[in-house]
Structure 1
Amino acid sequence: MPVGLIALALGGFGIGLTEFVIMGLLPEVAADFQVSEATAGWLISGYALAVVVGALLLTAAMTRFERKPVLAVLMVLFIVGNLVSALAPDYWSMMAGRIIAALSHGAFFGIGTVVAANMVAPTKKAGAIAIMFTGLTAANVLGVPFGTMLGQAAGWRSTFWAITGIGLLALVGILTLVPKTGSGDAAPGGLRSELRAFRSGQVWLSILVTVLGYGGMFGAFTYIAFTLTEVSGFSAGTVPWLLILFGVGLFIGNTLGGKAADKNVDRTLLAVLAGLVVVLVVFALTADSQPMTIASMVLLGGFGFATVPGLQMRVMKYADNAPTLASGANIGAFNVGNALGAWLGGITITAGLGYTSPIWAGAGTTLLGLAVMALAAAGAKRIKTLKHAQVPATGTEQTAPEPAVR
């Protein structure tokens, strides 16, 4: 395993911690700034929206530069954002720090996945992407619980000081461990070349699958604390430990999903999305059973995150030689899926459908994502068949009009 992947994973760990740890610290932040918890919640929403903006605009602005220095600059932006949060004298200063840090999120993962994929052989690209995203899963498994405990024991600012330190370590790792040269280190053709990737129908279908598939899982997860306490009957003190089980599932799913996607990305995504639908339906039907809920939490994390390496790899695959902006756009799509899933789940609860209704909504959303994936896979297979048909016995491929959907 290239050691540069460890530096990228550490950066992913810090970014994932910044995104999610605030959920456990909202009461302390709200009390410190004397705002309502609903107002404090905008620190989460504002971050998510800034991720989408950064994933598109910052990635587009940086396509002309070499990727390693860009990753370093993005990590500096991340460090500054968390430093501003740690020192924030008021709510709006805190919001500014959150937005600054979030702007680096989408671009870092979008560009970082391209760099990670180019560190390894073509047959190991999805696995390399999975290693980078291991940092994000570790943030959920270990970082969020311990970051929350640190913030509760020593004040919420201490958590953001710790995240700032993690960012500094990741910056040093990127500067010293990530290769400076090598295939794909700089994007050929700049922004114009990167924009050509969006001519591919397969890129757009892949992004839509990301929104729907990941959105279905996140929609169920957003309101999981209510399900666990109000339906499953767990105490509030048990919830953090159950979330660790969910995080263990994330870690396992991310690793196995990356290995499977290296063998056949479309087949893996179809199988995993179908499995996720089944898990969500079973969870919704058996949420009143504590043993079944425990099993469902692990499987929800496992199947939910097993999609991530494959979804990211698929977008890059059909973006041809200009994967950077498409990769960043797909990171933005994950966050659009987060917002969509949370919105749909909130609608079902507001409608009085109960605390299992977000799980049912997630199952329906994921099922729609599976249908889009089946359409995309069928189109890709048709393209492959047409290309093979264009190769005569001499083995020389003939030029032919390209199919309408790439």
Structure 2
Amino acid sequence: MPLPLFALFLAAFAFGTTEFVIAGILPDVAQGLDVSIPFAGYLVSGYALGIAIGGPLLTMATRQVSRRTILIALTIAFCLGQIACALAPDFATMLLFRVATAIAHGAYFGIAMVVAVGLVPQAFRGRAVAVILAGLTVSNIIGVPVGAAIGGLWGWRTTFWAMTSVGVLALAAIWALIPSTKAELQPSGHFSREVRVLGRQQVWTSLIIMLALMIGQMVPFTYITPLLREVTGLDAMLIPWILLLNGVGATLGVLLGGRLSDWKLMPSLIVMLGIQAAILVVFYLVSPYPLLMTVTILVWGALNFAIGAPVQARILMWTADAPSLASSLIPSGFNIGIAIAAVIGAALLEGGYGYRSLPVLGAVALALACGVAILSAAHEKRIGAVPPVAVFS
């Protein structure tokens, strides 16, 4: 891996870890800030909305600034955000700084991918983007379970101090290794073309599927630690190992989903959505049994990330003639789904439903997504629609 790409990977790892590690320490954070666990779940939805809304706005507002300068500024914002979260005296303060960090997160990934593809020859651009995305995957394998373990041993505030140290390493790497870069302005008329392609049914149905996928994933995952403690009966020190298995499943899923997307995209997507709906039913049934629950979480994690690959590939395929806006909406769509999932999960728990009910809602969402995918593919086949040819502005 070229050293400049490693610098971008390290910052992506830091941002990914701080987004998802909250699930591993949620009960401790809730206790420390004197709120209920469901209410603490709004730290997840707030972060997701910060990415989805603030990230694109910040990216648009900084188009005239050197990309290297922006990457440095965003990484500094990450470090300051972790320090602020570690010192937060109450829930409102914690939420405010989580959202501020999330805005930097949302802007970072769009800019980092543009910088990454500019650092390598054209034949290696796909792999350069994969390096940035790998930061998110590795954060689930290493960052989240390690962060949860640190929180379990030394308190949840220590987790954020540890994340600060990772951010400082990423900042030093970006400062030393990323060359000076400039933003590129789009020609007039480009934005209107970008907006028009979002009206294609393949694009908006894929966004619906994306939202359903995130409900199926994040409604249970946001509250995975209390679920494993109270329903499955696992010791708190075993939970980081379960999160590690989930991360391993996510990595296997990324590899599987990419291959299936290149093979037969829509048939693979439809089958995986159906299987995932069934897996979430199994999730509900086996949740009191530790061994079966562990295996189910591994498979569930793999399918979550396997499904994400063809959904993103489909959006990019059908917006190839105007990809910029659609590409920026992909992380926004995922994070709007995460925000909705956290709010729905909190509402269910506060309404008296137990943690075990959470995968049931996910199963319903995935079943509906499977139906949407079937109807979309059938309509596409019936009218003989052909994906657009890529154009370069």
Pairing 1:4-403 to 2, within 5 Å after superposition: 4-26=4-26, 29=29, 40-62=40-62, 70-88=70-88, 92-113=92-113, 125=126, 129-154=129-154, 156-174=156-174, 186=184, 188-189=186-187, 192=191, 194-346=194-346, 348=348, 354-381=354-381, 385=384
Shift of 1:363: 1.1
Q: Is the 8 A contact 2:247 2:301 kept in 1?
A: yes
Distance 2:173 2:316 in 1: 25
Q: Is the 8 A contact 1:114 1:327 kept in 2?
A: no
Shift of 1:302: 0.3
> 1:279-316 CA deviation, whole Å, 9 max, x = no partner?
22233333344332221110000001112333333333
Q: Is the 8 A contact 2:51 2:104 kept in 1?
A: yes
Distance 2:380 2:180 in 1: 34
Q: Is the 8 A contact 1:216 1:337 kept in 2?
A: no
Q: SS in structure 1 opposite 2:198? A: helix
Q: Supply the AA of the counterpart residue of 1:254.
A: V
Shift of 1:130: 4.5
Q: Is the 8 A contact 1:137 1:250 kept in 2?
A: yes
Shift of 1:359: 1.3
> 1:332-378 CA deviation, whole Å, 9 max, x = no partner?
22122223334444555566665432212111101212222333444
> 1:39-73 CA deviation, whole Å, 9 max, x = no partner?
65543333222222223322343456675654444
* Residues 173 and 317 (structure 1), Cα distance of their counterparts in 2 relative to 1, 3 Å cut: farther
**Count of residue pairs brought into register by the alignment:** 386
- What's the counterpart of residue 393 of structure 1? none
Q: Mean Cα displacement is larger for which, 52-61 or 225-234?
A: 225-234
Shift of 1:272: 2.7
Distance 1:231 1:89 in 2: 31
Distance 1:226 1:44 in 2: 15
Distance 1:387 1:315 in 2: 13
Q: Supply the AA of the counterpart residue of 1:105.
A: H
* Residues 82 and 324 (structure 1), Cα distance of their counterparts in 2 relative to 1, 3 Å cut: farther
Shift of 1:318: 2.7
Q: Supply the AA of the counterpart residue of 1:310.
A: P
Q: Give the unaligned 5+ runs of structure 2.
A: none
Shift of 1:84: 3.2
> 1:9-54 CA deviation, whole Å, 9 max, x = no partner?
3222111221222344456555666666666554333322222222
Shift of 1:211: 0.6
Distance 1:311 1:375 in 2: 15
Distance 1:257 1:123 in 2: 20
Shift of 1:276: 1.5
Q: Is the 8 A contact 2:24 2:224 kept in 1?
A: no
- What's the counterpart of residue 403 of structure 1? none
* Residues 4 and 258 (structure 1), Cα distance of their counterparts in 2 relative to 1, 3 Å cut: farther
Distance 1:313 1:178 in 2: 28
* Residues 66 and 212 (structure 1), Cα distance of their counterparts in 2 relative to 1, 3 Å cut: farther
Q: SS in structure 2 opposite 1:319? A: coil
Q: Supply the AA of the counterpart residue of 2:310.
A: G
> 1:96-139 CA deviation, whole Å, 9 max, x = no partner?
322221102223234445555675767983x6554423222322
* Residues 250 and 155 (structure 1), Cα distance of their counterparts in 2 relative to 1, 3 Å cut: same
Q: Supply the AA of the counterpart residue of 1:103.
A: I
Identity %: 38
Cα RMSD, aligned residues only: 3.8
Distance 1:103 1:172 in 2: 21
Shift of 1:91: 5.1
Q: Mean Cα displacement is larger for which, 48-57 or 341-350?
A: 341-350
Shift of 1:237: 3.9
Q: Is the 8 A contact 1:14 1:139 kept in 2?
A: yes
Q: SS in structure 1 opposite 2:370? A: helix
Shift of 1:160: 2.5
Q: Mean Cα displacement is larger for which, 234-243 or 31-40?
A: 31-40
Q: Supply the AA of the counterpart residue of 1:328.
A: S
Q: Supply the AA of the counterpart residue of 2:191.
A: R
Shift of 1:216: 1.2
Q: Supply the AA of the counterpart residue of 2:340.
A: L
Q: Is the 8 A contact 1:55 1:328 kept in 2?
A: no
Distance 2:283 2:32 in 1: 37
* Residues 325 and 31 (structure 1), Cα distance of their counterparts in 2 relative to 1, 3 Å cut: same
Shift of 1:227: 4.3
* Residues 11 and 28 (structure 1), Cα distance of their counterparts in 2 relative to 1, 3 Å cut: same
